[in-house]
Chain A
Amino acid sequence: MSAAEPLLRVEDLRVEFPSEDGVVHAVDGITYQVFAGRTLGIVGESGSGKTVSSLTALGLTRRQGARISGRILFDGKDLLTLPEDKMRAVRGNDIAMIFQDPLSSLHPLYKVGRQLTEAVRAHRDVSKAVARARAVELLGLVGIPDPARRVDQYPHEFSGGMRQRVMIAMALANEPKLLFADEPTTALDVTVQAQILALMERLQQELGMAIVMITHDLGVVAEMADDIAVMYAGRIVETASAAQLFAAPEHPYTWGLLKSIPRLDAPRDEDLVPIPGTPPSLINPPSGCHFHPRCPYSQPDHERIDPVLEPVPGEPQHHVACLLESGVRRSLWAQLREGSTPQEALAAVGAGEPAA
């Protein structure tokens, strides 16, 4: 880990949306940080709050009547307290974001060049000609062949992978320090995904940019991220370096994810162990530990107590929000890693008893 100051620091962020059925607690007190030149992966499923937290960092949830509390520190300023015009100066300039579906995220009726020059001229006082030259340069930077001709084409004239490159070009127009990438490759074919991920890595190295990679795909996050935060039902349940998370995960949800995905490096007929149940409603999340209804190892009092992110003994950069005792967790994972089912692991460790 870097001992330097983090580029972005999110502190106890809470985001709530009013809705017809009640208040949606989209983000329920999360804290994380991103360092310059490094990639933080945020892993979570739908309803985990991963997208909302990133949109909030860019101030894009303000319009929806969201109630936001906490702090988002960037470059010495709390983004949440910035007035809109100052926030706008940050968006697309110091912090940029790319989204999942490049077909719907690009305006279908404007040429690609125009969308690029718009991004440039929003923050730089340059002539149209200069902006256009920059647009062509950007297209070349992201690997689009024949950029001088393609800059005058419409989004639908590009393939899926090319469109995502265009989105990336647009985001990089003003050389941001931080890039939020929300499921950038989910809608793409696997070979195209590999191209885009490689591109992002190369650009990160060339520009020294920090990336927050939001995804549900553990493979992608293992490839791209230096550090990982796992989110569930609006909370962060575990943060660690990528190596630590995959070698010695400490949260039952992380275990569940790892055991439930088919992996090319596992035996072919090994059974998948799904996480039982369904992701919870954010209007009425479970009390106490949000994961307890689906956790095979939960104890009765997990329904009452809110877990807090605490460092794992012996691994100061590895935090987990779990009410189980650390030794118990280690033993459980040791069992699961050898191929036991949760029930078997629980039996082996002795339900509820801390390991000797």
Chain B
Amino acid sequence: MSGPESTSTPFGESASELPSVAQATPTTATDGGGDGPLVRVRELVKHFPITRGIIVQRKVGAVQAVDNVSFEITRGETLGLVGETGCGKSTTARLITRLLDATSGEIDFDGQDITRLKGASLKAIRREVQMIFQDPYSSLNPRKTIGSIIGEPFAIHGLLPDKGERKREVQRLMETVGLNPEHYNRYPHEFSGGQRQRIGVARALALAPKLLIADEPVSALDVSIQAQVLNLLRDLQRRFGLTIVFIAHDLSVVRHMCDRVAVMYLGKIVEIGGGDELYRFPRHPYTGALLAAVPHADPSRHGEQRSILGGDVPSPANPPSACRFHTRCPKAQELCSQQEPLLEDKGSGTRVACHFPLTREEATQIGVRSGG
């Protein structure tokens, strides 16, 4: 690792707005819904078919990665998507960015239906929605300089054709994320994991997107670096009014970063609500199980009884009937295997999909105890 020592503060006084690209060539992709939510997802479904056959492949089943998911993302908020393996959070993100095509359902971005867009109109949307990925070691092309990586979005969309201008813009982006602009011509392998994530962030911000999706951006980083990148994202959001979807499996990180959190299980949203309410008074038993499972950095709580969720996540190709959690749920009753609970407000601040949500007492026992 021969990269420079970079601190996460300060970013350089100059950039108080996202790079001038936004002003120079305003996108005509979306009309701007103005006050409505930035993203509205309705009954989104993504099934991956499983085929079998000798000569002709027949569809014999499907992996129901995302099953009838609906939610909204308000402008300027950070929405967290939390869940364990196979819950569908990454798939949902890829559906919103149109890296995957939905099986059915609707995705509205800034007032426009983008579910079936193709060609030039889809490409225009790409300027508005950007993604940062989990693995800093494989998500950057090792054969390109980072200047070229960060500048690639401009090249793809035909912006800033003048090389000098583009380089200046890229260097401004590098400063914004805390990288040394003089390292423009270095290659990814010359940087540490945390720095590579910054490169990824710089690239994502190049076109001044409205929506940034961060798919496990810090999971592969060392603990002492995670905080740097998390702080960077928070600061960038505050300064540029970004809307962020933050995907993670680490509940503490999600609580820290996100205004609202959606908990997913086997392709469905089981609970969604504000960061405070959801963590202090979880209503869905699965949310409760997740919170109960997080090990506390506090040895004095060592001897406490925790109810541990047993069993394994069922296969998404063959999910349980009705409420998908009923096979492992400590509160499950007959109704749960017969009728699917809808995601609704049970009068507690969060929306929860459960027939027998945790009571106030149960929730308080598990929930986060802290001020604020």
Contacts and interface: CB of A to CB of B under 8 A. Distances in A.
B300 interface: yes
A137 B34 CA distance: 64
Contact of A274 (B195, B225, B275): B225
Contact of B276 (A192, A264, A268): A268
Contact of A261 (B195, B297, B368): B297
B228 A274 contact: yes
B211 interface: no
A217 B1 contact: no
A190 B290 contact: yes
Contacts of A197: 295
A231 interface: no
Contact of A219 (B6, B222, B294): B294
Interface residues of B, number: 55
Contacts of A189: 84-85, 249, 313
A186 to B, nearest CB: 10
Given A222-B298, A274-B8, A276-B5, A261 B227 contact: yes
Contacts of A218: 223, 297
Interface in B301-333: 302, 306, 308-310, 312-313
A243 B249 contact: no
A262 B1 contact: no
Contacts of B251: 190, 264
Nearest to A43: B223
Interface centre among B231, B295, B312 (most CB of A within 10 A): B295
Nearest to A277: B5
Contacts of A216: 222-223
Contacts of A277: 5-7
Interface stretch (A55-63, A107-115, A116-124, A252-260): A252-260
Interface string B23-53: 0000000000000000000000000000000
Interface stretch (A10-18, A23-31, A154-162, A345-353): A154-162
B337 interface: no
B224 interface: yes
A47 B291 CA distance: 30
A301 interface: no
A258 B296 CA distance: 12
B222 A267 contact: no
A125 B118 CA distance: 67
Contacts of A265: 296, 298, 368-370
Given A191-B309, A265-B370, A269-B372, A274 B224 contact: yes
B295 A217 contact: yes
A264 B222 contact: no
